[in-house]
């Protein structure tokens, strides 16, 4: 499949497409642009993936030659670069996380420059914030003092994106995602993973041991909102994007105790206990919420899910999965 760059429909390559965000973003992009227009890529061999629903290529994003080869072969016009090591996992092997997060971004930005791509999406994170940020709600232009290698890579990444935009005219757009909550794919090693795991454990075992303390409030967002925000940002006319770094986007802010109360409204026997680990100190360095006036002003950002609707939606999707599993176990 070789595409004509002048055609109207973009040809989109997604890296890290099998991860928590990629799983849903690829489906959403295919809905909008068509199945064949979106090439999903990740580390896995296609032969090991029976559930592929469109074009897929194995790609280690550190392999610059193979990346360039795919861009040229498919006539790629946009890249959504999602492959990365997340905050908690990054602390286990900081130099490896730095190498993956930075070198992969530079490979993508170089490809965008050399192949004159129309647009690039690269997610930043609330991990760019640190202790000097207002604890309650962090403004767009807060001083960035990240405490993790992941946060440092996101801060540096924001600067590299600005550099390629300024010096080479690469149209790279970015959001500082908060912790994302979804039912399709497991969370990938971040500090906010508890907010996904708690649903699975509640339905499977009726209890959850949380690695953060009960009153740790963090910025969060339901995946439907995150995907919608991403598409909205990427479709906005370039001239309305006044914030040329990564946009803050806010949605939810809650603590493990508040999420547990909401879960108990649906599952009255659910219990939660607490046993904090190293992730607590990462969470302590992040704000409880973010201020997103700029995103609302420039491209009309509005979240749709609150704690109540997010919890109900997660349970609607996951309850049948665990019911079916227990029926299968009972039969076998
Ligand atoms: N999930 C969140 O809560 C969250 C919050 C803020 C920012 N983000 C950012 O969004 C992006 C995607 O996050 P996610 O949650 O989907 O992560 P994830 O860990 O679920 O998925 C990452 C994917 O990248 C792939 N990958 C790893 N190394 C690779 C390599 N060398 N080459 C190609 N693919 C490779 C993995 O196989 C995996 O499928 C990341 O940049 C992350 O920093 C995520």
Q: How confident is the model at residue 1 (pLDDT cuts 50, 70, 90)?
A: very low
User: Token pair for residue 120?
Assistant: 């690039």
Residue nearest to atom 36 of ligand 1 (CA): 16
Residue 262 C-alpha to ligand 1 middle, in angstroms? 28
User: Residue 189 CA: which ligand 1 atom is closest?
Assistant: 19
Which residue's CA is the nearest one to ligand 1's atom 11? 82
How high does pLDDT run on average in the chain?
A: 94
**Which atom of ligand 1 is the closest one to the Cα of 179?**
3
Task: Give burial (CB, 10 Å; 0-12/13-18/19+) of 172.
Answer: buried
* Distance from C-alpha of 48 to C-alpha of 43, rounded to nearest angstrom: 11
User: How far is the centre of ligand 1, averaged over its atoms, from the C-alpha of 264 (Å)?
Assistant: 31
For the beta carbon of residue 319, count every other beta carbon within 10 angstroms.
Answer: 14
Report pLDDT digits (tens) over 116-158.
Answer: 999 999 999 999 999 988 788 999 999 999 999 999 999 999 9
Report how far apart, in Å, the C-alpha atoms of 11 and of each of 30, 75, 106, 285 are.
10, 7, 20, 39
pLDDT digits (tens, 9 = 90+) for 235-274: 999 999 998 789 999 999 999 999 999 999 999 999 999 9
What the block records as the tokens of 124 is 């930043």
Q: Give residue 27 CA to ligand 1 midpoint distance, Å.
A: 16
Query: What gap in Å lies between CA 249 and CA 225, rounded to an integer?
Result: 10
Beta bridge partners of 119: 78
Within 10 angstroms of residue 304's Cβ, the number of other Cβ atoms is 11
DSSP 7: S
pLDDT of 332 above 70: no
Residues designated catalytic: 150
> Closest by alpha carbon to 129, among 303, 246, 20, 222?
246
The confidence score (pLDDT) of residue 292 equals 97
Residue 326 pLDDT class (50, 70, 90 cuts): confident
| Mutate-to-test residue for ligand 1 from 82, 220, 310, highest number of ligand atoms within 8 A of CB | 82
Cα separations (Å) of 199 from 83, 182, 253? 25, 10, 17
What pLDDT does 327 receive?
Answer: 64
Q: What six digits make up the tokens of 300?
A: 């009309």
Residue 88, pLDDT > 60, answer yes
Question: Do 74 and 12 meet the contact criterion of CB atoms below 8 Å apart?
Answer: no
Which of ligand 1's atoms lies nearest the C-alpha of 23? Answer: 16
pLDDT at 330: 43
* pLDDT, position 2: 47
**Ligand 1 geometric centre to CA of 17 (Å):** 8
Ligand 1 atom nearest to 126, measured from its CA: 6
Pocket of ligand 1 (CB under 6 A): 15-16, 18-22, 42-43, 59-62, 82-84, 86, 100, 123, 125, 177, 179-180, 187-190, 192
pLDDT score, position 6? 47
Q: Which of 19, 124, 180, 193 to mutate to test the pocket of ligand 1 (most atoms within 8 A of CB)?
A: 19
Collapse the DSSP code of 212 into the 3-class scheme (helix H, G, I; strand E, B; otherwise coil) and give the result: coil
What is the reported pTM? 0.95
Residues pairing with 180 in the sheet: 221
121 neighbors 231 (Cβ within 8 angstroms): no
Range of lowest pLDDT (46-50, 196-200, 297-301): 46-50
| Angstrom distance (rounded) from CA 318 to CA 244 | 38
- 90, 188, 196, 247: residue to mutate for ligand 1 pocket, most atoms within 8 A of CB: 188
How many CA atoms lie less than 13 Å away from 78 in the CB half-sphere?
A: 23
Closest by alpha carbon to 108, among 129, 133, 84?
84
pLDDT at 331 over 80: no
* pLDDT computed for residue 51 by the predictor: 82
Cα–Cα dist 41/83, whole Å: 9
Q: How far is the CA of 192 from the centre of ligand 1 (A)?
A: 14
Distance 81 CA to ligand 1 centre (A): 9
Band the pLDDT of 90: cuts 50, 70, 90: very high
Closest ligand 1 atom to 127 CA: 6
Total H helices, total E strands in the chain: 11, 16
For residue range 201-241, what is the model confidence (pLDDT) as tens digits? 999 999 999 999 999 999 999 999 999 999 999 999 999 99
SS3 of 184-207: CCCCCCCCCCHHHHHHHHHHHHCE
């Amino acid at each position: 499949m070789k595409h004509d760059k002048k055609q109207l429909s973009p040809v989109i390559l997604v890296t890290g497409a099998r991860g928590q965000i990629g799983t849903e973003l690829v489906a959403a992009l295919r809905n909008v642009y068509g199945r064949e227009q979106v090439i999903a890529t990740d580390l896995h061999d296609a032969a090991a993936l029976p559930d592929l629903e469109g074009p897929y290529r194995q790609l280690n994003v550190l392999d610059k030659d193979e990346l360039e080869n795919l861009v040229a072969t498919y006539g790629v016009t946009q890249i959504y670069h999602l492959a990365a090591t997340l905050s908690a996992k990054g602390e286990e092997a900081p130099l490896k996380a730095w190498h993956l997060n930075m070198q992969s971004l530079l490979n993508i930005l170089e490809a965008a420059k050399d192949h004159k791509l129309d647009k690039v999406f690269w997610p930043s994170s609330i991990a760019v914030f640190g202790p000097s940020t207002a604890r309650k709600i962090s403004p767009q232009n807060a001083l960035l003092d990240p405490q993790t290698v992941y946060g440092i890579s996101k801060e540096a990444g924001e600067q590299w994106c600005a550099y390629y935009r300024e010096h080479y005219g690469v149209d790279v757009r970015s959001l500082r995602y908060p912790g994302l909550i979804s039912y399709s794919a497991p969370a990938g090693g971040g500090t906010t993973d508890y907010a996904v795991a708690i649903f699975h454990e509640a339905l499977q075992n009726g209890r959850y041991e949380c690695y953060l303390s009960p009153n740790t409030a963090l910025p969060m967002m339901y995946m439907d909102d995150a995907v919608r925000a991403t598409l909205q940002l990427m479709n906005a006319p370039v001239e309305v994007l006044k914030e040329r770094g990564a946009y803050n986007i806010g949605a939810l802010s809650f603590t493990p105790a508040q999420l547990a109360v909401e879960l108990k409204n649906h599952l009255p026997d659910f219990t939660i206990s607490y046993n904090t680990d190293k992730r607590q100190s990462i969470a302590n360095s992040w704000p409880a919420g973010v201020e997103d006036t700029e995103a609302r002003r420039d491209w009309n950002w509005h979240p749709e899910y609150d704690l109540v609707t997010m919890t109900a939606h997660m349970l609607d999707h996951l309850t049948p999965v665990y019911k079916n599993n227990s029926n299968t176990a009972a039969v076998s």
